[in-house]
Amino acid sequence: MTPPRRFFSLAALAATLAALAGCSEKPVEKKAGPPPVLITVTQARTAPLDVVERTLGTLEAVVDPKIAAEVAGRVTKVAARSGQTVRKGQLLAEIDATDASGQQQADQAEVARLEALLAQQERVLIRQNELVARGFISRNAADDARAQRDALQGQLAAARARGTLSAHALGRTRVLSPVDGSIEVQIVSVGDYVKVGDPLFRLISNHRLRANLPFPERIAGRLQPGQTVRLRSPLLPGKVIESRIESLLPTLTETSRAVEAVVRFDRAEWGDTLRGGGSVDAEVVVAHKPAAILVPEQSVALRPAGKVVYQIVDGKARQRQIEAGVRQDGMVEVLDGIAAGDTIALDGAGFLSDGAAVSVQDRAAPAAR
């Protein structure tokens, strides 16, 4: 027997095919976005800001006399050596005083001779006046006696002046320190013959120092006497010497075309550490802003548009182009672009882009591993 034929409707066939197709389809996966960037944040704040100009300066002793011979003669004694500390009035050297002593004795003898002659002439003048009063001699004779007395007075005054000079010259044979200080260079030795003006010692006194601060010619108009200056020396780490500009030199330095500011200060409160010839880092306060908007340097990123910070709004980083001003002590002044109190990215700001999702981490918390 022939088996019976089975007939399928078109509708049943379509349903079967649809069921098979449905079993072979896979669910569509949605693509995930980039993970949020882990950052820390801070707030733009207002604070007083000093606008400063910086330079490297040199210390110089205000008092550094070059001691020279004031009389001619042979050096008989040297009482101070290079590097020795001396006090004002201390003996440094002696010059042969034979000639000066002889001259002083001669001047003293001349003064004594003229004093005796003057005393005698005074007695003569008294007697002459008495004789004129009695009519025994004429007035002319008394006038001659008076003229001789006046001449002797003049000679005595000149002799006394010479005596003062010779005594002063005798005193100059002892070379004394004019100030407290240190012998920087001993030039003379025992046995040297020196003339007036020959150098003997170079003395330096560090009690009062001067800082010479060169600045570029372009900022000369911003400097003026009286401005606050802060000095830092490698010999005094962590300490700041505060003073003021005393003067500006009237001409530019020929080699560097720099304008030079002069600052003076006493060394007493800083001990014996600072010395002439040392270097100092200096900053001059040329302006003061009582309420500048400041952000940390690491918050500022460089992009093709310029300098930007990223303001954090609703979990997103919004790029804000800024106009930067003074950079000082790790902070940047913002002249335009954000307002005080705005929350901005701090650590991680360099990895952000406009609109990036962020995850804010507490700076005190350890980073997740």
Residue 369 pLDDT exceeds 50: no
Q: Are strands 37-39 and 358-360 parallel, antiparallel or unpaired?
A: parallel
Residue given tokens 């020959």 in the structure block = 198
Residue 271 pLDDT exceeds 80: no
How large is the angle between the packed helices 139-171 and 98-134, nearest 10 degrees? 160
Could you give the number of structural domains in the chain? 3
Residue 1 pLDDT exceeds 50: no
Per-residue model confidence as pLDDT tens digits over 64-100: 788 999 999 999 999 999 888 889 999 999 999 998 8
Enter the tokens of residue 197.
Answer: 């003006």
Whole-Å CA distances, 6 to 2, 9, 11, 15, 100: 12, 10, 15, 17, 157
Bridge partners, 344 (sequence order): 42, 311
128 φ/ψ angles, rounded to the nearest 5 degrees: -60, -40
* Residues 313 and 276 both lie in one domain: no
Residues in the chain: 369
Boundary of a domain, candidates 265, 289, 313? 289
* Residues 302 and 245 both lie in one domain: no
| 210 falls within a domain | yes
Residue 139 is part of which domain span? 97-172
| 74 falls within a domain | no
* Residues 166 and 106 both lie in one domain: yes
Query: Cβ neighbours of residue 42 under 8 Å, at least 6 residues apart?
Result: 295, 296, 299, 343, 344, 346
pLDDT at 198: 93
* Residues 243 and 280 both lie in one domain: yes
Distance CA 353, CA 361 (A): 18
| 285 falls within a domain | yes
What is the pTM for the complete model shown? 0.56
56 φ/ψ angles, rounded to the nearest 5 degrees: -110, 120
* Residues 220 and 280 both lie in one domain: yes
290, 46 Cβ separation under 8 angstroms: no
* Residues 296 and 283 both lie in one domain: no
319: pLDDT confidence band, cut at 50, 70 and 90? very high
pLDDT at 157: 93
Residue given tokens 């010259």 in the structure block = 169
| 368 falls within a domain | no
What CATH number has the domain bearing residue 318?
Answer: 2.40.420.20
| 350 falls within a domain | yes
Per-residue model confidence as pLDDT tens digits over 153-185: 999 999 999 999 999 889 999 999 988 888 888
What CATH number has the domain bearing residue 282?
Answer: 2.40.30.170
* Mean pLDDT of all residues belonging to the chain: 84
Q: What is the DSSP string of 302-325?
A: EETTEEEEEEEETTEEEEEE-EEE
Residue 272 pLDDT exceeds 80: no
Distance CA 293, CA 49 (A): 9
pLDDT at 8: 45
* Residues 230 and 249 both lie in one domain: yes
pLDDT at 7: 43
